[in-house]
Amino acid sequence: MLVIPAIDIMDGKCVRLIKGDFNNPIVYRNNPVEVAKDFEKKGAKLLHIVDLDGAKAGYPVNLKKILAISRSLNIPLQVGGGIRSKEDVRLYLKNGIERIILSTIAIENPKLLCDILKEFENSKILVSIDIKEGKIATQGWRKKSKKNISDFVRFLKKLGVSFLVVTDISKDGLLGGPNLNLAKKFINEGFKTIVAGGISSLRDLEMLKKQGAFGAIVGRAIYEGKIDLKEAQKKIAFKSNLAKRIIVCLDVKNGRVVKGIKFKKLRDIGDPIELARRYSNMGADELLFLDITATIENRKPFYNLISKIAKEINIPFTVGGGILTIEDIRNLLKAGADKVSIGTGAVRNPNFIKKAVKYFGSQCIVVSIDAKKEKESWKIYIKSGTEKTEIDAIEFSKQMEAFGVGELLVNSLDRDGTQRGFDLKLLKAITDKVNIPVIASSGAGKKEDFLEVFQKTQVDAVLGASIFHSKKVDIRELKKFLSAKNLPIHL
């Protein structure tokens, strides 16, 4: 669960309101940019920015201040307040804001909401539902809509809205705890629900996490020291008890799925479209497509093939290989990828990752680390394991976390294709140092290997290839086995 610090801007200052009352703001700092920098230093991975003056006026008032915050940070922002047109949305997104929060126009102008969702990616648009005395509040919480909440929720689901920000205004700013029952209603509807209002302690965060909230927005409790952001990040944010994922990898060369040992002696496995369809139907949680020769051959990914695969599956789809520019990422997402995995491009140009996170958000960016043991450390290799660097894998992992990536994919060149089990020392060394999700790759040979890596390291997902291609292990049976061992698994 994400712990998201809030910065509400009023008269250019960082403030908090009590139950949305504009007449009695609590002023905490005069410089929101400095507040944002402080949150980033303390480990925040996403900030929640509200233009309170804009919410009241009906147009962005603190635009320059918000863009100044964005330019000063390496982490993404979600922004709301006074955004009432497609032009407002476009302006913010064009200037590097990751997500836009819509409230008033979502309630009062559903046609405009439809148009915005058609023009921009759904992952970029959050709808805020602010509840006041059982009604949805609009216009900076000063008016109550007559729209029925249940009807509005059904409308949002029909539109394909994924993210909601839900606030109980009666709780906001009072440090009395969130409305857990209200939050649960929206979580149960299947929305990625970000909860705001009244959060005052780590226990509140733990309760929301247990309910399945996607995130929690925290304001006054952080400003007044009731919640330590660093501690919250460590205990709540990323090392979660959410379901562990089983990911299947398709290594693709010349349009065919191949597999080798330690990136060598490749053998043909089959058609990627057919295999993708099979693994999706078998219950894989995600699919990873790696174009293993794109970087070596200095060419772009196979967009057409990726598009065909995306149409055949109904699970999250990550694509890697040959990704060196922002345009490469944009084209892959357009082709149907949900995330991109970047290896050589990240090592050669770490600042490219900063830019990618700014443009597309942490959730889209996975950094792939191919590591090999060298004496007492692990060195990174690039170009599908063909070129050694002197970069330490552990230190690079920490750097990528600082740059805001969403996940790390850790490949052990010593174990790739061997089916001798995962490199537990490497994986533990990395998961002990970072707080973002880590995907374990290389070495799966039997069901017990998956159990061991989940139990002995803090990885969030495990990737397999040979073990599934050979039909040595069935994904459904693997999941039943892990679930029986009390691991949280999607069956």
Q: Assess whether pLDDT exceeds 50 at residue 240.
A: no
- In this predicted structure, what is the pLDDT of residue 261? 62
Which pLDDT score, from 0 to 100, does residue 228 have? 93
**Are 35 and 223 a contacting pair, CB within 8 Å?**
no
Share of the chain above pLDDT 70, in %: 97
Task: Please state the rounded mean pLDDT for residues 373-401.
Answer: 92
Q: Is the confidence at residue 239, as pLDDT, over 60?
A: no
* Cβ–Cβ < 8 Å for 327, 64: no
Mean pLDDT of the chain: 90
**In the predicted model, what is the mean pLDDT of residues 308-320?**
93
- Determine the pLDDT at residue 201: 95
d(CA 443, CA 143): 59
Average pLDDT value for residue range 132-144: 88
Rounded to an integer, the average pLDDT of 117-131 is: 89
> Contact, 254 vs 41, CB < 8 A?
no
User: Over the stretch 322-339, which tens digit does the pLDDT of each residue have?
Assistant: 899 999 999 999 999 999
Q: List the one residue out of 132, 176, 131, 177 whose CA is nearest residue 153.
A: 131
- The predicted-structure confidence for 13-38, as pLDDT tens digits, reads as follows 999 999 888 998 999 999 999 999 99
CA 302 – CA 321 distance, rounded (Å): 9
Q: What is the pLDDT of residue 231?
A: 86
Q: What is the structure's pLDDT at 376?
A: 85
Which distant-in-sequence residues (6+ apart) come within 8 Å of 353 by Cβ? 342, 345, 346, 365, 367, 400, 403, 404, 405
Q: Comparing C-alpha atoms, which of 49, 97, 100, 76 is closest to residue 405?
A: 76
What's the whole-number mean pLDDT along residues 1-12?
93
Provide mean pLDDT across the span 433-449: 91
- The domains found in the chain, sorted by start residue, are 2-237 (3.20.20.70), 245-484 (3.20.20.70)
Of the candidates 172, 328, 370, 449, the residue annotated as catalytic is 370
Q: Is the pLDDT of residue 204 over 80?
A: yes
Measured in degrees and rounded to the nearest 5, phi and psi for residue 309 equal: -65, -45
Is residue 251 part of the annotated active site? The answer reads: yes
- Rounded to two decimals, the pTM is 0.57
Q: 264: pLDDT confidence band, cut at 50, 70 and 90?
A: low
Mean pLDDT, residues 49-60 taken together: 94
Mean of pLDDT values over 41-59: 91
Catalytic member of 8, 168, 204, 251: 251
- Examine the pLDDT at 71 and tell me if it is beyond 80: yes
